[in-house]
């Protein structure tokens, strides 16, 4: 199954794994507000990828099949902090859901 990973620009620890482009998802209003603007980070096939760091592959595949997305919330790490410093967390350079 195809999976697209989005990072929230307003909440660096919020990552959305989606079965389709974010503009085609029907996210609950509260979730859309939480995510704010997003940036697409990568896409992969859940059946072809090895171990995932942030989420269990079976849990992800089940969530994508049942509701079309999976939300991962965690504390920002050093890579995310560097991305914010370089690109800003305001979404000025990112595209996506607002």
Express as a percent the part of the chain with pLDDT over 70: 78
CATH topology of domain 2-87: NE1680-like fold (3.10.510)
Contact 36, 91 (CB under 8 A): yes
- DSSP for residue 20: S
More confident residue, 24 or 94: 24
Q: Which residues are registered as beta bridge partners of 7? A: 15, 39
Give the other-Cβ count within 10 Å of 88's Cβ.
12
Identify the pLDDT of residue 47: 84
Q: Would you call 34 helix, strand, or coil by DSSP?
A: helix
Tens of pLDDT, residue by residue over 11-50, are: 878 999 999 999 999 899 999 999 999 999 999 998 888 8
**CA–CA distance, 66 with 59 (Å, rounded to integer):** 11
Mean of all residue pLDDT scores within the chain: 83
């Amino acid at each position: 199954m195809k999976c697209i990973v989005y990072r929230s620009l307003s909440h660096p620890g919020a990552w959305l794994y989606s079965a389709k482009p974010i503009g085609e998802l029907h996210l609950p209003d509260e979730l859309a507000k939480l995510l704010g603007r997003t940036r697409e980070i990568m896409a992969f096939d859940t059946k072809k990828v090895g171990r995932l760091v942030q989420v269990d592959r079976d849990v992800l595949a089940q969530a994508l099949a049942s509701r079309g997305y999976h939300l991962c919330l965690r504390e920002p790490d050093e890579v995310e902090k560097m991305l914010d410093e370089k690109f800003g967390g305001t979404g000025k350079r990112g595209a996506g859901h607002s």
